[in-house]
Amino acid sequence: MNLHGTNPQWYKACYREGFPACAAAFPDSPDLLACLKKLNTVQAVNEAVKDPARVKVLSHTDCWNNNIMFKYEDDKATDVKLVDWQTPSYRPPTFDLVVLFIYQSWDIFHNQRDAILEHYYQELQKTLGEKKSAGLHLYTLDELKADFRADCAIGVFERMLFAAELLPSQQPGLLRILQEVKDWGGI
C-alpha cells in the first residue's frame, strides 16, 4: 500500500524539493535540519498499516485545513465535515491527526493537543463501542497519545512536502513544533 495511493518515489522527490525551502526558513537549526534531511516515512507508513497489532480506522489520508468545512450559525461552528475523500485508506487513527496537527499553530499543537486528543479518543470509543476490544486489546487514551507522538514524523514529512508554501509568519511556530517532535524522538 502506497502513501495516498501514489508512487513513493513522487513523495521522496517532493520532499527533496521542499527541504531547501525549510532549510532556508530555519538556517539557525542545523541539528534539526540534519534530522529532517534523513526523514523518510513512506516505509514507516507501510509498515504501520500492515502491523496487525495497531488499531485501524477509515482514514481520510489528506486531512488538512483546506479539506475541512464548518457550518456556522450565529458565528458559532455547529457542524464539521471532511471533504475531498479521494484517497481514503485503513490506517491507525493517529495518521490523520498528525497531518492535521502539523499544519496548526504552536498554541494548538502544544497547548490544545491533549484536549483535542482526548475528545478524539472519546469519539473513537463511541464509534468502536465503549470498553470494547479494538482488535487485540482495549485501546487506551495513553496508547493514542503515544501513537500520536510516534507517528508525528508522518505529519512532519507531509508538511515538508509543501515547505515552499511556508509563510514567514508560520516559521517560528513550525520550528517550535518540529523541535518538540524531535525532542520526543519522532524525527
Asked whether residue 69 is assigned to any structural domain, the reply reads: no
Q: Which three cell numbers stand for residue 122?
A: 472519546
- C-alpha 95/C-alpha 99 separation (Å) is 7
Domain assignment of residue 51, given as a range:
10-59+91-184
Asked whether residue 111 is assigned to any structural domain, the reply reads: yes
- C-alpha 46/C-alpha 3 separation (Å) is 7
Asked whether residue 178 is assigned to any structural domain, the reply reads: yes
Asked whether residue 86 is assigned to any structural domain, the reply reads: no
Asked whether residue 3 is assigned to any structural domain, the reply reads: no
Spell out the residues 6+ positions from residue 186 whose beta carbon is closer than 8 angstroms to its own. Answer: 149, 150, 151, 152, 153, 156
Q: What is the pLDDT of residue 139?
A: 82
Residues 41-56: tens digit of each pLDDT:
777 777 777 888 888 8
Q: How many CB atoms lie within 10 A of CB 139?
A: 21
Residue 85 has φ and ψ, to the nearest 5°, of: -90, 55
pTM of the model: 0.81
Q: What is the pLDDT of residue 134?
A: 57
Asked whether residue 32 is assigned to any structural domain, the reply reads: yes
Residues 66-109: tens digit of each pLDDT:
888 999 999 998 988 889 988 888 888 898 999 889 888 999 99
How many structural domains does the chain have? 1
Question: Which among 48, 52, 43 has a CA at the least distance from the CA of 12?
Answer: 43
Mean pLDDT of the chain: 82
The H or E element that residue 149 is part of is: helix 141-161
Q: What is the pLDDT of residue 24?
A: 82
Of the chain, the percentage scoring pLDDT greater than 70 comes to 89
Residues 123-149: tens digit of each pLDDT:
888 887 766 655 546 788 999 999 999
- Contact criterion met (CB below 8 Å) for 128 and 122: no
Q: How many whole angstroms from its chain centre is CA 136?
A: 24
Asked whether residue 40 is assigned to any structural domain, the reply reads: yes
Q: What is the pLDDT of residue 172?
A: 87
Asked whether residue 41 is assigned to any structural domain, the reply reads: yes
